[in-house]
Amino acid sequence: MGRRAALAPRLTLPAGRTDHRRTEDGFTLLEIVCVLAIIAILAAILLPSIPHGTSRARLEGYAIEIATLLRADRDAAMWRRRAVATAIDAPTRSVRSGATGEMVRMPEDVHFEAILAARCNQHASGHTIEFFASGMSCGGTIRLARPGLAYDIRANWLTGGIEVVRADAL
């Protein structure tokens, strides 16, 4: 008679099941959760330090918002039959309506520049675009720019018309 080969005893768990973990490859749920937690912590630390610049669409939105404010002041001047002045404040990077008091402020990453008339209607105009009852204005240009993109908001002195024009960037 031949000899029988002895079978190696299989490792079993206390419940009587065979331990197959030694032959399986992969990650446990605990390992995956730990890796995701480390990634989340790193993201929470690094994301606030990444600069969030003004997007192309948001810059255009600011230009349209300022143009709308200027148009509303022109309309108010014609409706009330008296001059309305829109204040342009470059140091605070803001434009304030003379009719409603509404204000538009620019974020720090947007270059804000205004070219305004020094004198208008025989007096110093300073930092305003003044609209008259006739619809005319003192005129002026406000430039909003970020690297690669710029918009000019122009107030025509003769017609008082307001237009937004894409300009050459800085």
Assigned domain for 105 exists? yes
Angle at 70 between CA 105 and CA 151, to 5 degrees: 65
How many domains are contained in the chain? 1
Assigned domain for 131 exists? yes
Evaluate whether 146 touches 109 at the Cβ level (below 8 Å): yes
Predicted pLDDT at 96: 96
DSSP 8-class letter at 170: -
Assigned domain for 100 exists? yes
CATH at residue 83: 3.55.40.10
Assigned domain for 30 exists? no
Predicted pLDDT at 136: 92
Assigned domain for 16 exists? no
Assigned domain for 24 exists? no
pTM, whole model, 2 decimals?
Answer: 0.69
Predicted pLDDT at 5: 62
Assigned domain for 44 exists? no
Q: Which strand (E) or helix (H) includes residue 90?
A: none
Predicted pLDDT at 18: 56
How far apart (Å, rounded) are the C-alpha atoms in residues 69 and 104?
Answer: 9
pLDDT tens string, the chain, 170 residues long: the values are 566 666 666 666 566 555 555 556 778 889 999 999 999 999 888 877 766 778 888 999 999 999 999 999 999 999 999 999 999 998 899 999 999 999 999 998 899 999 998 888 787 877 899 999 999 999 999 999 988 899 999 999 899 999 999 987 55
Structure token pair of residue 35: 């890796």
Predicted pLDDT at 11: 61
Assigned domain for 50 exists? no
The domain of 103 spans: 56-167
